[in-house]
Structures are given as structure tokens and as C-alpha cells.
Amino acid sequence: MRAVVYQGPKDVSIEDVDEPEIQHPSDVVIDITTTAICGSDLHMYEGRTDADPGLVFGHENMGVITEVGEGVSTLEEGDRVVAPFNVACGFCRNCENGYTGFCTNVNPGFAGGAYGYVAMGPYQGGQAEQLRIPYADFNALKLPEGDEHEDAFAMLADIFPTGWHGTELANLQPGESIAIYGAGPVGMMAAYSADIKGASEIYVVDRVESRLDMVEEHTDAQGINFQESDPVEQILDAHGDQVDKGVDAVGYQAIDPEEVRDNPDEPYDPAKENPAIVLNQLVRTVRPTGQIGVVGLYLPVDPGAPDEMSAQGRIGIDFGKLFEKGHKFGTGQANVKQYNRQLRDLIIEGRADPSWVVSHRVGLDEAPEMYEKFDNREEGVTKVVLEP
Ligand code: NAD
Ligand code: ZN
């Protein structure tokens, strides 16, 4: 079958790879109908991890079941399903408590597993024609038959639950104000979630105008362009005070506003990053005793890695300011399974439709080109879905 295969930094290609097979009685195999490119893929794409060439990317997957393991009891051939990006067993202590992003069985030695992701276990990605879903009764969420809401349901694999998770980690309550750093697909879904949850005011910070326009069009958020001036000051001015809650939907790849201030047209450049900037800005933005959800990704420090790589996990937070303000922080992989059923039902009932975040639906052959554009955070390129 054809698949998107990592070749090395900034290089993916479409290759023929082995078709997945049932490996365990609890597996199913699906024909992929939609699979999305994620900001999380870019860490590997840019060569910032030690992903090996040959890895099939893709952790945001949905499709139709073609093969069913003999131990599977609730699914059958022909079922349309979406798989959380987390691979989870369903019965370890963390899964039992809903923390499916931290399953201790699927990937020994590392908290959590995912499809097509370095260090996240032996699970091939779904940017391909087919995918094996382990522990399928637990991991495959059934969808209505047909092809209605295809883009919206595809967002249930990751970014809609992940954006929701950001607001959960921040314990956002109706009527509270919130600042979200990052208007990538995850930040947009955090803003959308805040909207659904009844936030009183939502601020979303980024520099890509088309992304800020998009989130303003589809939610009640106010866009804040960090390129113009200090985003914290802009939010304090607009809101008249510090906000109740905050979300980091950027991660260590944060561009330092000072580095790009004089040139609005400057393209995305990793040399202009400051991995600690967003966390420190959030501490300044959120009121004392407020709460902050960090869903943007920070990579663990690898003792053997070169300094630049360690810098992606070991960063300088003003802990004194954090101490002064007594913030609570939550972070980590989103426990997609905790939310995807309810979010699916909001879509089915017409009360939510996250498909607005999708900017491109293309065939697998166009994946290399779309990786490049998404990686450059090109204007107008937000969420790219692939249709194998
Ligand atoms: P993305 O990486 O394109 O989004 C990041 C956005 O942040 C971009 O629009 C960028 O312009 C903006 N940005 C850069 N510097 C900034 C700054 N200083 N202030 C404000 N905004 C800034 O794509 P994405 O798919 O939205 O991913 C966002 C992050 O979420 C990534 O780190 C990704 O790995 C992570 N992620 C985490 C989970 C999880 O389970 N926790 C799931 C999915 C994605
Ligand atoms: Zn993702």
C-alpha cells in the first residue's frame, strides 16, 4: 500500500510499504478514509527528534473496518470509526482513570503511545491506505455510516479533544476569560472549545494573519498579533485586567516576538525561537491563582542529545513569578478518549462543527508539498487532511 514515509529532515515521500495485518486478537484493520497532518508531525519532519527514516507518519486517523480480530466484540467489518491518536490498552491504572494519554502498557518505558510517532511505540502511522488499530474495542470510536461530517469527525482523532483538553487543564468555567497562545489548529480548537464552554472573553495570540482571521471568524475570540507589540500588554489593555485562565498551544517551537518584530513578512525561522517565551508570557497574562493548560509540546531532555535538542525540554521559566502568582499548571498528551464520544455527539447533533479549521483536502501524493507549506506556516494553510 502507499504511505507517507519519513526520509530525513524536511523530506517525506510516498512509498510502497507492507499492508498492516491483525497481530493480536484485539486488533482491527481499517481502510483509511481521512488522515490529517499535525503540528506534532512537524517536530519529526524538521529533524528535531531522532525519528528513523522509514517511519510512516500519521496519528490522526479515521476509516472503515476491513478486518476484525477474533477477540473484538463490539466492532464489525464495515463500521466507520475514528481512532484517538493515543494508543491505549484500556485496563492499566492510568487508562482506568481516564488518562489514556499516559497508558503504561502500550509502550513500556515511556508514558503513552501513538501511531506513527518516534518514541511512542511500535505503531505504524495512518498517512497510508490502511492502519492497524490495537485494543480496538477500546480505541475505535464508532461513527454514523456514510460520509457525512467527514472533516469534522476527523478532528476527533486529536485536535478537537486536544484543544478541549487545554481548556480542561485550565479548568475553564463558564463566564471566565482565557488567553490562548498559538492559533495553529490546536489553538483554534482550544478557542472553539472555550466558546462552547461559555467563556466570557477569549484572546488568541499568533502572528499568522490568516490564522487569526480564521479563529475570529469562527469563534468569539479576539486575535492578538504578537508581531505588533508585546502580546501580554495587548491582552491586558484589551481586557483591562489579567485573564482567568490560559492555554499554551505553541510548545517549545515558540518564535520570540522581539526577533521578528521589525519584519512582518519574515518567514518562519527556527533560529528565531525562544522555547520558554510562551510559558513566561502566560504567567504574566493569567491572574494570581489562575490556571494554565499546556498542550503545546515540549520534548523530554535526552541526556545524550546535543544542547539544542535538550533546550527543547529544559527551558528557563521564571519560577519566582509563578510562585508569586500561585498558578496551577497542567500539561501532557491529551486523553482523547475522555472527550471524543461527547464531542462526536455534539457534531452529530449539530451543536459543534470543527470542520472550519480544515483548509485543504488532498490526495496522498500531495502530502510532501503540504508538509512543506504547513511547516512554513504559510498563510491560508491551517489543517491539511489527506484522502488516500
Ligand atoms: P502549529 O505548530 O502550526 O501551531 C503553532 C502556532 O503557534 C503557529 O500558528 C505559530 O505561528 C504560533 N506561534 C509561534 N510562536 C508563537 C508565540 N511566541 N506566541 C504565540 N503563537 C506562536 O500546529 P498545531 O497543530 O496547532 O500544534 C501546536 C502544538 O500542539 C504543537 O507543539 C503540537 O506538537 C502540539 N500538540 C499537542 C498535543 C497534545 O496532546 N498535547 C496534540 C496535538 C498537538
Ligand atoms: Zn496530532
* Mean pLDDT, rounded, for 365-376: 97
pLDDT above 60: residue 270: yes
* pTM for the structure as a whole: 0.97
Question: Which ligand is nearest to the Cα of residue 247, counting in written order?
Answer: 1
Give the amino acid at 188: M
Cell of 352: 459543534
Output b/e per residue, 260-272; b: 16+ Cβ within 10 A: beeeeeeeeeeee
pLDDT digits (tens, 9 = 90+) for 94-109: 999 999 999 999 988 8
pLDDT digits (tens, 9 = 90+) for 66-90: 999 999 999 999 999 999 999 999 9
Cell of 202: 477569549
Secondary structure of 102-124 in the HEC alphabet?
HCCCCCCCCCCEECCCCCCCCCC
pLDDT confidence of residue 268: 81
94 neighbors 103 (Cβ within 8 angstroms):
yes
Q: Which of 259, 280, 297 has most ligand 1 atoms within 8 Å of CB, for mutation? A: 297
pLDDT above 80: residue 114: yes
Give the rounded distance of the alpha carbon of 63 from its chain centre: 19
3-state SS, residue 56? strand
pLDDT above 90: residue 172: yes
Give the amino acid at 229: S
User: Would strands 243-248 and 177-181 be described as parallel, antiparallel, or unpaired?
Assistant: parallel
* Mean pLDDT, rounded, for 117-141: 96
Q: Which of 206, 272, 284 has most ligand 1 atoms within 8 Å of CB, for mutation? A: 206
Residues of the chain with pLDDT > 70, as a percent, come to 97
Which residue in the block uniquely carries the three cell numbers 491518536? 85
Distance 39 CA to ligand 2 centre (A): 6
pLDDT confidence of residue 307: 60
Instruction: Measure the CA–CA gap between 16 and 360, rounded to whole angstroms.
Output: 24
- In the chain, the domains with their CATH numbers are 2-158+335-387 (3.90.180.10), 162-331 (3.40.50.720)
pLDDT confidence of residue 370: 98
Ligand 1 atom showing the smallest separation from residue 383 Cα: 25
Instruction: Measure the CA–CA gap between 331 and 338, rounded to whole angstroms.
Output: 15
pLDDT confidence of residue 178: 99
* Mean pLDDT, rounded, for 355-362: 98
